[in-house]
Structures are given as C-alpha cells and as structure tokens.
Amino acid sequence: MISREFVSVVVLLALTILSPLQVSAQEHSENSLLRYSTDPSSPFSVALESLQKQINYTFESIGLLRRAMTHASFSEENNKALSILGANVIDASVALRSLVKDVDISAKDLSRRISEISSVDSSCAADGLRLGLQKVIRVSPETDSLTPAVVCGAFRAMCGAIALDSERSDDAGRVFWSVHGQRKGRAISRFLGHMMPLVAAPSVTTSCSVEIASVYPCYPQRGFLVCC
C-alpha cells in the first residue's frame, strides 16, 4: 500500500514541475494579448485609424488592414499574401491606365512603365514612406521597419487589403494613384517653380483640355504659371 508520505512527495514534485509551466503559459497569454490586442485605444489601432483617413478609405473588415500592417518577422499571420495581391492589383491598374491613354503603346514600353512604378526602391517604398507606413507596420525588434522591402511590402499589402475588403480592384487602384500621384504633382511644381514665378496670369487666354489638366494642372505660358 502506498504511504501518505510517498503521495505527498509525488504531488509536491508535480507542483514543482507544473508551476513554472503555468507561469510561462500565463506570461505567453498576456504577451499575446498585448501584441494582438484589438483595443481601439491602443497605439496600433490609433495608427490604423489615422491611416484610413489618409487614404480616404474605411475598411469594412479592419482585420485586413491589421494583417496588411503585420510583417512576417512579427507574426505567422502576416501580410505576405496580401502583398502579392497588391502587387498584381497595382500592375493591372498601371497597365489599364497606360492603355486607356494610348492603346497603341508597345508591349516593351508598357512593361517598362509597369517596372518603373513597381520598383521596390525607387517607387513602391517611396509611396509607403509618404504614408508613414514605417511607423505603422509591426515588425520584430530585430527588423528595421525602414527597409525598402518592408515598407514596399506594407504598401502593396495595403492595396491588396483594400481590393479584398471592397471586392473591387478599382478601389485599390484609386488609392494607389492618389498616393503615387502626390510625388508626380510635387515634382512638376518644383520644376515649374525653378522656371518662372508662381503668379496668376489673368491676362493670358488659354484653354485647358482634359488631357492637359490631367497631366499638367499647371504649366508655363508667356512667362507665367498657368493653372487649369
């Protein structure tokens, strides 16, 4: 017959072994709650809310945007798949807009145009930085959120998340061009600003065609900057 002393020793050993495991499990649970908390007042949730206002799009499923702003180094539930979707949505949008402007564009020129806009370092990451995604995306402590691949991946994933959320690639394309077009507009303004004074020209008569207004909202004429 097993003595009470033996049972007591076994129970004591079991408690000694299980206690650290319970503490570890509790700590892991608490850490998970901190990392994946959906508290609307958390810094991450506030950043997502601000981002939606920036891009002028409100998600029906905020979980998609949360995933889009989660790097693979941070969680297994990350933005890799959404980034692939977003890259294809952007490419399709660029191709469509290019063909609408010039249906006779060569395949070579179209491919070059898509490659230029899809470039991680020179274009895609710049669009992401413009939105401040490096401050929003969740990464591991060992990962630099300013890395072009990380920022570009977040930007593409955001576009993919919009397409999935609305089930319309056009919505994602609209957001993409609204962000990407900001750089184009500033570049034109800087160029024209160096060429001539930024003044009104009421005496200058000009007609702004749709083509001119869409590409060059302001352009030089007779020493003045004329804005459509």
Name the residue ranges covered by the structural domains of the chain. Answer: 1-36, 39-187, 196-228
Q: What is the pLDDT of residue 122?
A: 82
Element (H, E) at 219: strand 218-221
Prediction pTM value: 0.66
Interatomic CA distance for residues 216 and 228, integer angstroms: 8
Q: What is the pLDDT of residue 88?
A: 97
Which residue type sits at 207? S
Q: Which fold has domain 39-187?
A: Ribonuclease iii, N-terminal Endonuclease Domain; Chain A (1.10.1520)
pLDDT for residue 187 is more than 60: no
CA terminus-to-terminus distance, the chain: 99
Interatomic CA distance for residues 111 and 50, integer angstroms: 34
The pLDDT confidence band at residue 206, using thresholds 50, 70 and 90, is very low
**Percent of the chain scoring above 70 in pLDDT:** 62
Q: What is the pLDDT of residue 99?
A: 96
DSSP H helical segments within the chain, as ranges?
4-36, 43-55, 62-68, 80-101, 107-118, 125-131, 148-166, 169-195, 210-215
The top-scoring range by mean pLDDT among 107-121, 147-161, 212-226 is 147-161
* Residue predicted with more confidence, 218 or 76: 76
Neighbours of 63 (CB within 10 A): 13
Question: Which pLDDT tens digit goes with each residue over 89-121?
Answer: 999 999 999 999 999 999 999 999 999 998 888
The tokens describing 196, both together, are 């001539």
